Amino acid sequence: QNYTERYRPQFHFTPAKNWMNDPNGLIYHEGTYHLFYQHNPGGISWGAMSWGHATSSDLVHWEHQPVALLARGYPDNITEMFFSGTAVFDAQNTSGFGSGDKAPLVAMYTSHYPVAQTLPSGKTVDANQQSQSIAYSLDDGMTWTTYDSVNPVILNPPEEYSDQIHDFRDPAVLWHEENQRWVSVMSLPGLRKLLIYTSTNLKDWELVSEFGPVNAIGGVWECPSMFPLPLDGGEELKWVVQISLNPGGPAGNTGSGTQYVVGQFDGTTFTPDANSVTQSNWVDWGPDFYAALTFSGLPVEDRVDIAWMTNLRYGGATPTDPWRSAFTVPRRLSLKTTNGKATLIQEPILGDADYSSTHWDILPAGSTKLDFTGKALDIVLSFSESESTQFSIIVQASSDLSEQTQVGYDFEKKEVFVNRTVSGVSGFDDTFAGVFSAPLESVEGKVILRVLVDWSSVEVFGGAGEVTLASLIFPSDESSDVYLFSTGGSTNDIEVKAANIKSVWV
Ligand code: FRU
């Protein structure tokens, strides 16, 4: 297999074949990055949810591994699906799953039970109940054993939410050093509420607090996670809660999205900063960023986020075959005080490439064709405010420009935008062909946009990475021209630094 099918991302992670949704159990351990993901091994649509698996030594090149947790009873008589969750290294063997001096990796995930049953542990579940379970690995994440004698470790939501047993999911575990406790954050999606539990052994969990609803609540809350980050690269740590919601994403996007809230966490309670709960903070302003999760097992300043690059509106209908869905490139996160507010900054992680630069003192109104083409590109574009009202780069363009994807900046609205109205195939969803935007201030009149173009996506990082937009596109094979476009007048001081990005699969 050489990963050259139509629309196949060249440097974004995809399963070799079949369906993928959320990233799960991201962990760096013993020199290896493990990527698990929601996967249907039996088809190109959602179903038979299992944990797919891939490994990497550099976050760029991935090696596909056997399914790590296969839906129980697969394929014909499924009694348990492995929904989203996370993984941690239990270095002190608090769980007792370790053997000799081998400490275990422990995964905590949602068990979704399609049928009512009495489990091997003797516990009884309702049809379509969701509970939280654990599994462990004694071979550094390659194979996993579910804790069947006790699972699920959290059978039901708290008493007062007992009507939510069918919607209780997505545990995200972390070790809280100061309290010497495991902490797990999970969601009551329908109530837009997070529940925080703690444990000393990853097996016995106690509810200690709740968070939400706050900010964007236009849809269900899923895939929550919480992590610390240094503020402004200093000693002070802030905590970030990342929450996916569906629908109710950023304006212009009628589907799903991902928000974050910054605050303090004392080991039991998350207290948001006052200025982080006055409005929605979008992790990504594009239409295609969901279920984002960061790696465990990395130093506190090395926080890497990966999202499922699609929208719940049409995630099941995108025109790819024999796989469906890609992940965003891994993004290194930091927190920077901007206008008095702790703001997420994101930087993409890519492999090496040969860049070349071109500079223009001035470009007139209209289009300028660039002397390179490509469908897998990293482009860093900068320009300065002058006469024009908008300045943009057009990628994946056909020779007559009838098909194109435009990424640019509107000086009047002070917004970065992605226009995919004529980007190619879009008929699978009536809102796909849209324009998406994010607020961005120029710095002394200068704007910087980094645009990652792949065979079926554009990911844009605005400014220093304080806003990003991930968007799928499905252009024709021949559309590989690149243009600059100045609207309403000339633009000054333009620089394009670009490289073709090689396939990470060869
Ligand atoms: C989000 C989600 C999660 C759930 C998983 C099931 O896309 O709905 O809440 O655990 O997908 O595949």
Reported as a single tens digit per residue, the pLDDT across 417-471 is: 999 999 999 999 999 999 999 999 999 999 999 999 999 999 999 999 999 999 9
**Residue from 310, 210, 304 nearest 258 by CA:** 310
Same domain, 387 and 443: yes
Do 61 and 178 sit in the same domain of this protein? Answer: yes
Q: How far is the CA of 288 from the centre of ligand 1 (A)?
A: 15
Handedness of CA 279, 216, 132, 157 (dihedral sign): positive
Residue 505 lies in a domain: no
Q: Is the pLDDT of residue 63 over 80?
A: yes
**What pLDDT is stored for residue 254 in this prediction?**
76
User: Average of pLDDT values for 287-309?
Assistant: 98
Q: Residue 10 has what pLDDT? A: 98
| SS (HEC) of 90-118 | CCCCCCCCCECCECCEEEEEEEEECCCEE
Of the pLDDT bands very low, low, confident and very high (cuts 50, 70, 90), residue 1 is: confident
378 Cβ inside 6 Å of ligand 1: no
Tally the residues of the chain.
506
Best CA proximity match to 261, nearest among 351, 165, 335: 335
Residue 385 sits in the same domain as residue 290: no
Q: Are residues 197 and 323 in the same domain?
A: yes
| Amino acid (one-letter) located at 448 | I
pLDDT in tens, 241-278: 999 999 999 988 879 999 999 999 999 999 999 999 99
Mean pLDDT across the chain: 97
11 belongs to a structural domain: no
Catalytic residue among 22, 170, 284, 378: 22
- Regarding the beta carbon of 170 and ligand 1, being less than 6 Å apart is answered yes
**182 pLDDT higher than 90:** yes
**C-alpha 22 to ligand 1 mean position (Å):** 7
How confident is the model at residue 316, as a pLDDT? 98
pLDDT at site 179? 97
Average of per-residue pLDDT across 60-80: 98
Q: Hey, what amino acid is at 280?
A: S
Please indicate, yes or no, if residue 55 is contained in any of the structural domains. Answer: yes
Mean pLDDT on 378-401: 97
Tens of pLDDT, residue by residue over 25-42, are: 999 999 999 999 999 999
CATH of the domain at 491: 2.60.120.560
Is 13 inside any structural domain? no
Element of type H or E holding 232: none
- Mean per-residue pLDDT, 196-200: 98
> Has 352 been annotated as catalytic?
no
User: Can you say whether the dihedral through the CA atoms of 160, 165, 170, 171 is positive or negative?
Assistant: positive
How far is ligand 1, taken at its centre, from the CA of residue 457, in Å?
22
Can you give the residue range of the structural domain that contains 437? 356-500
Residue 301 included in any domain: yes
- Tell me, using a 6 A CB cutoff, whether residue 22 lines ligand 1: yes
Give the pLDDT of residue 506: 85
Last residue in a domain, options 322, 348, 374 = 348
Same domain, yes or no: 463 and 414 = yes
- Residues 101, 48: one domain? yes
- Mean pLDDT, rounded, for 481-497: 98
pLDDT confidence bin for 326, thresholds 50/70/90: very high
Q: Which residues, including other chains, have CB under 8 Å from residue 187's CB and lie 6 or more apart? A: 168, 169, 170, 193, 194, 195, 221, 222, 223, 224, 243
Number of structural domains the chain divides into: 2
Residues 395, 289 share a domain: no
CB 484 within 8 A of CB 393: yes
Q: Which two tokens stand for residue 466?
A: 């304080």
C-alpha 5 to ligand 1 mean position (Å): 27
For residues 35 and 62, state if they share a domain: yes
Section 104-119 average pLDDT = 98
User: Is there a contact between 86 and 108 (Cβ–Cβ < 8 Å)?
Assistant: yes
196 and 334 together in one domain: yes
The pLDDT of residue 113 = 98
The last residue of one of the domains, among 314, 348, 382, is 348
User: What's the pLDDT score for residue 252?
Assistant: 83
Does 246 contact ligand 1 (Cβ within 6 A)?
A: no
Q: Whose CA is nearest to atom 6 of ligand 1?
A: 83
Pocket of ligand 1 contains residue 198 by CB under 6 Å: no
Any domain includes 231: yes
Is 14 touching ligand 1 by the criterion CB < 6 Å?
no
In this prediction the ipTM stands at: 0.98
Query: Would the CB of 169 count as within 6 Å of ligand 1?
Result: yes
326, 348, 370 - which closes a domain: 348
Distance 440 CA to ligand 1 centre (A): 31
Sign for the CA dihedral angle at 266, 267, 273, 277 comes to negative
pLDDT of the residue at 132: 99
| 381 pLDDT higher than 90 | yes
Quick check: is 6 in a domain?
A: no
| Same domain? 153 vs 58 | yes
| Ligand 1 atom with minimal separation from the 223 CA | 9
Mutation choice for ligand 1 from 81, 113, 187, 222, CB with most ligand atoms inside 8 A = 222
Q: What is the CATH number of the domain that holds 187?
A: 2.115.10.20
Q: What pLDDT sits at residue 264? A: 98
**Is 160 a member of any domain?**
yes
pLDDT confidence of residue 251: 84
320 neighbors 503 (Cβ within 8 angstroms): no
- Same domain, yes or no: 196 and 338: yes
Which residue CA neighbors atom 9 of ligand 1 most closely?
A: 222
Same-domain status, 80 and 187: yes
Can you tell me the mean pLDDT for 80-106?
98
- For residue 38 and ligand 1, the question of a CB distance below 6 A is answered with yes
Whose tokens are 């209780």? That residue is 168
